[in-house]
Every structure is written in structure tokens, then in C-alpha cells.
Structure 1
Amino acid sequence: MTRRSRAREVALQVLFQSEANPDRDPGELDGFLVRRLVTAPLVLMARQLVRGVQQHAPQIDARIEKTSAHWRLFRMAATDRAVLRIGAYELLHTDTPPRVVVDEAVMLAKRFGNDSSAAFVNGILGTILNENKEALEAALTPTPLTESLQEPDASET
């Protein structure tokens, strides 16, 4: 397991714990993270993942639910939910290569989920990735200059 994989794993554990016990002291969870990772760059990465997921939770959860046909978020296994949230956050809000994000999420799902978790996570994150690529390509597709300079028809005014 790479060091960055380890940071993702600890971020997953913190998100899982905070969802299972929302009244738990955030400082206690941060202490868990520091004890498990020790080195500053990995602690920073795990904190970024946890805080990023928490800050963007409504958007991330809506995207996961939209993508996971017939599966409401609350019905998903808690570990799958946490893995998907980390993966979606990384796909949508970081510059981590998408293939790395999906591969890492699938590995976490295999390690912490059930027999079908890896395929489930791969399918949902793959769909989010494809939708995101299409939206990005559409946003980056330039409008030909001649179209943008055409005068509106008299019937359109």
C-alpha cells in the first residue's frame, strides 16, 4: 500500500467514525488521524480529504444519488458511502488523475466493503467521471467566431 493510499484509508476511517457517531469530538477524530499517519504530508492529505468531503457533502451526496440508480444514499453500506464520497470529492475538486482516484476507491471498497462493493464503487465513480468529462468538454468547446458575430434575425427580436 502506498503512503497516499494509507492517507485515503485513514480519511475513510475518520469519515466512517464521524457518520457513525456524529456527536464525537472532531479533535478526537483528528487525533486519531495524526496517530495513524504520523508524517505531516500524509496527515495534511487525509485532513484535506475529510474536510473536502464535509464541505462539499450536499453536492457530493446529490451527485452520488443521481448516479446510483435505484439506490438511495442512506440504503448504501456506510463503508461504500464513505468510499464514494472520497472518490467523488477527488474527481470533482482535486487534480488527482481520475484513473488513480477510481483505482484507489475500488481498492478501498475491496478492503472494507462486501463482495459487491468494488463493482458498485467502480460503476458509480466511472459514471461520475464520464459525466464530468462530457461537461468539461462541452464547457471547453469554443463557439466558432462566425456564429458569435452573426446578427440576430429580425424575427428573433
Structure 2
Amino acid sequence: MSRRVAREELFKIVFESELTEVKIDETLASYMLRDETNLNTNEKEFIEKYSNGMALNDEKITETLKNNITGWSLERIGNVEKALLKIATYEVLFEDVPAEIVVNEVVELAKKYGDEKSHEFINGVLAKVVVEKNR
């Protein structure tokens, strides 16, 4: 299984959810029915588990991000950045994956999909989230 591929597809789902303002579970259901969805069983399970976890913990994820973003409100952040921050924050708080791996992969996605400085912003916010979690 490629978690990197699954994480990128999860990003696309969360991004679409943010863009359309449709709940993540509804966006996931629609995504899984599309013809172009070409994921193996492990990747689908990863995406479903994380999507469901994010939906169940949305309030905690949002609160954590609001507490760790300096100089911006969560509402003003671009959808790419918001989606990546939500995925990484969920994973750091609720999954047993080393924070360094999560941050590194999300920063790489930010370089691919975000603006020129998105990855720096995301890295800074996630560093604060990790510190807060470890307090």
C-alpha cells in the first residue's frame, strides 16, 4: 500500500469538501463511485478510516488549528492549505504515525498543490500542533 498515494487522494477529497462546503463523508461517498477512482483495497480502507475519523473529530481538529494559527483566521486560509492542515492535524492527534512523517508528506503535497509559500506556513502551524500535543 502506498500511504503517500492514499494521503494525496484523501487530500483531494478533503479539498473538494472544503471547496463545495459538503460534509467529508458525503464527498467521500461520491468520490468512491467515480469511474476514475483506481485505488487498491488498502488505499480505500486508509481513505475511509481517515475520512470517517476526520468527520467524527472535526470540532477538535478545527479548535486545534484555530489555537495554532498566528495572524490568520482559519476561514481566511486557502482551501489547499486548510485541507492539508486538517488531514495532518487529524493524523497527528488521532493516529499512531510519527509526526515527522505526517508533516513531511503534507509539506510535500503543499509544494505540489499550494502557493509558493504554502509549505512554509503549513510546516509552521504543524510544528505548533505537534508541540501542543506533546505538552
Higher relative contact order (CA 8 A, sep 6+): 2
Q: Letter of the aligned partner of 1:108 in structure 2?
A: L
TM-score, length-scaled by structure 2: 0.89
Q: Is the contact between residue 65 and residue 72 of structure 1 (CA under 8 Å) also seen in structure 2?
A: yes
Alpha-carbon separation, structure 1, partners of 2:64 and 2:94: 13
Q: Is the contact between residue 10 and residue 36 of structure 1 (CA under 8 Å) also seen in structure 2?
A: no
Paired position in structure 1 for 2:19? 20
In the TM superposition, residue 28 of structure 1 has moved relative to its aligned partner by: 1.5
Q: Secondary structure at the match of 1:81?
A: helix
The 4+ residue runs of structure 1 with deviation greater than 6 A are none
Q: Is the contact between residue 108 and residue 119 of structure 2 (CA under 8 Å) also seen in structure 1?
A: yes
Paired position in structure 2 for 1:73? 74
Alpha-carbon separation, structure 2, partners of 1:5 and 1:84: 16
Runs of 5+ unmatched residues, structure 1: 135-157
Q: Secondary structure at the match of 2:83?
A: helix
Q: Secondary structure at the match of 1:53?
A: helix
In the TM superposition, residue 53 of structure 1 has moved relative to its aligned partner by: 1.5
Q: Letter of the aligned partner of 2:70 in structure 1?
A: A
Alpha-carbon separation, structure 1, partners of 2:22 and 2:61: 22
Alpha-carbon separation, structure 1, partners of 2:71 and 2:78: 14
Moved more, 14-23 or 105-114: 14-23
Paired position in structure 1 for 2:121? 120
In the TM superposition, residue 37 of structure 1 has moved relative to its aligned partner by: 4.1
Aligned residues: 132
CA gap of 1:7–1:37, structure 2 versus 1, over 3 A, is: farther
Paired position in structure 2 for 1:10? 9
Identity between Structure 1 and Structure 2 (%): 26
In the TM superposition, residue 36 of structure 1 has moved relative to its aligned partner by: 3.0
Q: Letter of the aligned partner of 1:5 in structure 2?
A: R
Q: Is the contact between residue 8 and residue 49 of structure 1 (CA under 8 Å) also seen in structure 2?
A: no
TM-score, length-scaled by structure 1: 0.77
Whose Rg is larger?
1
Q: Is the contact between residue 7 and residue 37 of structure 1 (CA under 8 Å) also seen in structure 2?
A: no
